[in-house]
Amino acid sequence: MNSDKKEKTVEEIRKILDMQEEILQFSHFTNEDGIALGHFMYQEAVKKDLDIAISIRRVNGLIVYQAMRNNTNLDNISWMNRKFNTVLRTEVSSLSWFMRLKQNDQTMADKFMDENVYACCGGGFPIRVEDAGVVGIVLVSGLNHVQDHDFIVKSLSKYLHMDEVPRISKSDVI
């Protein structure tokens, strides 16, 4: 690592993740919005030649968009299902949950979260509607978990026309 670059602390990373969720909110979110967002994300994955799976789901579990690029498989679906469960239960991104546990030196077991049901890693992000709360979840699987999260953040930033969204890098998080 470059000695000029200071590694971020867990607390700094958590603040950035919290800011991302605060900034990347929707004014409304319908099933059609979910399809449009999913298609937009898929096109971004094609442009970057990323072999990922993408899913947009309502909090009731309804899958409004799901697509799998080449070299993805049922394991990606399993990861997305577990990330969905994590975001649904915690109402924060799955990477934020990972960092919260890390900051408190806790495990999923400490929170009574079965690792066969929940995933403690990046790649799940809550879809919040201003003044309504979490109404859906964006899921990505196929990259390193921090890259899954960052792909979602970059995609949402572009889709929502939000230029100043702070980001973290793979080197910031284990």
What pLDDT, in 10s, does the model give residues 60-88? 999 999 999 999 999 999 999 999 999 99
What average pLDDT is seen over the chain?
93
Q: Give the mean pLDDT of 115-129.
A: 97
Nearest to 134 by CA among 17, 18, 21, 14: 21
- Three-state SS for 27? coil
If phi > 0 it is left, if psi is from -120 to 50 it is alpha, else beta; for residue 34 that is alpha
Give the global pTM.
Answer: 0.93
Q: Decide: helix, strand or coil at residue 116.
A: coil
Is the confidence at residue 147, as pLDDT, over 70?
Answer: yes
Q: Considering the domain 10-163 in this protein, what is its CATH number?
A: 3.30.450.150
The Cα angle at residue 161 between residues 43 and 26, in degrees rounded to 5 = 95
* Residues listed for the chain: 174
